């Protein structure tokens, strides 16, 4: 089975009817479409409301851009001193060696920047990006993202990780990826070995939004990384109609922890064009976070965050548990006086 890269491919695979394909043709022209053979197999026969289907199959609702939505919702461009680098926080940078992904999520905050033919850094551009890191001793952590860095070959990944390890002030490299749940066979022992270098702590942040994504194959891919000694984090986007339910999130976070992945961030969806139909309100997100407090342990609790539009960074969006009158709310909704 071949990967799907167009509406016609989705129609041929049976995931869209010809009529449904015609209805999203304009959406697919603007926002990239891609599903791996692995996901095509998993989605075969799935209904339109399936939690995986809704994440990857284009819908007509994406044609609407809300007034508040923007092409660069988190302000990457405002903090890009050289190509491939985003330096928003003093002690860390993003390094974006490529702009391609194995799959294209329908809610992606970089959906205007990634896709087939998306630029990868040339050798000279990558060296210039690394030179920027070398020249800034305050940079302690490098987040390798894109695009999806796990699309790079183990050799190229090892070269990047090795170059970062040679920079004395860099202590941590964090790689962000969707591949373990989108194309798990790609996570080979050779890829896992390529992520490690002496003197550098390597972490992997896996994007997972629903427990249904943690199939036997995905769990095995995560195990290959964890068994190689790589600490795993997760990033989850809160999505209306997909995971905006306390029981659904509970199942996801428990499954992640059971597979040695620490839930790290629960992202409020960014103001990416064409995504208003999957964006709940912050109040709805806060209510879900409150509901989770008594359902799962601290191991299963991510930080609920909002990326401030315009490039001002992330802010915790969690509900307040301590009121102005000094009372503290417990996980059952009862309030108690606290007197220090």
Pairing of strands 92-95, 141-144: parallel
CA-based torsion, 219, 96, 119, 55: positive or negative: positive
How many beta carbons lie within 10 A of that of residue 250, not counting itself?
17
Return the ∠ at Cα 148 (arms to 24 and 85), rounded to 5°. Answer: 110
Three-class SS of residue 92?
strand
Give the H/E segment covering residue 130.
Answer: helix 123-134
- Written as six digits, the tokens of 299 are 């191991």
Three-class SS of residue 269?
coil
Round to whole Å and give the CA distance between 84 and 82: 6
- Written as six digits, the tokens of 76 are 């990457």
Round to whole Å and give the CA distance between 62 and 52: 17
As annotated, the active-site residues are 88-89, 92, 101, 105, 108, 110, 270, 307, 314
Three-class SS of residue 213?
helix
């Amino acid at each position: 089975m071949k990967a799907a890269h167009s509406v016609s491919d989705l129609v041929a695979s049976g995931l869209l009817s010809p009529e449904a394909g015609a209805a999203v043709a304009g959406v697919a022209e603007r926002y990239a479409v891609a599903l791996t053979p692995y996901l095509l197999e998993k989605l075969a026969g799935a209904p339109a409301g399936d939690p995986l289907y809704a994440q990857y199959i284009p819908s007509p609702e994406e044609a609407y851009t809300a007034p508040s939505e923007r092409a660069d919702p988190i302000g990457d461009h405002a903090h890009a001193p050289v190509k491939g680098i985003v330096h928003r926080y003093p002690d860390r940078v993003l390094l974006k060696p490529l702009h391609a992904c194995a799959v294209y999520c329908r809610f992606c905050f970089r959906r205007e920047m990634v896709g087939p033919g998306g630029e990868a850094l040339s050798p000279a551009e990558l060296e210039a990006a690394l030179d920027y890191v070398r020249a800034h001793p305050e940079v302690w952590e490098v987040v390798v993202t894109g695009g999806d860095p796990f699309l790079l070959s183990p050799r190229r990944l090892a070269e990047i990780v090795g170059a970062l390890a040679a920079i004395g002030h860099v202590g941590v490299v964090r790689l962000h990826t969707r591949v373990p749940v989108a194309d798990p066979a790609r996570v080979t022992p050779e890829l896992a070995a390529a992520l490690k270098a002496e003197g550098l702590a390597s972490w992997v942040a896996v994007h997972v939004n629903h427990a249904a994504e943690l199939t036997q194959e995905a769990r095995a891919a995560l195990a290959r990384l964890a068994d190689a000694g790589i600490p795993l984090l997760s990033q989850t986007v809160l999505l209306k109609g997909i995971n905006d339910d306390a029981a659904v999130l509970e199942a996801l976070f428990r499954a992640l922890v059971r597979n040695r992945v620490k839930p790290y961030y629960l992202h409020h969806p960014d103001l990416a064009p064409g995504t208003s139909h999957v964006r709940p309100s912050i109040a709805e997100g806060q209510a879900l976070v409150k509901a989770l407090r008594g359902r799962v342990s601290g191991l299963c609790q991510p930080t609920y965050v909002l990326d401030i539009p315009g490039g001002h960074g992330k802010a915790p969006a969690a509900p307040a548990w301590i009121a102005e009158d000094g009372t503290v709310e417990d996980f059952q909704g009862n309030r108690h006086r606290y007197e220090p």
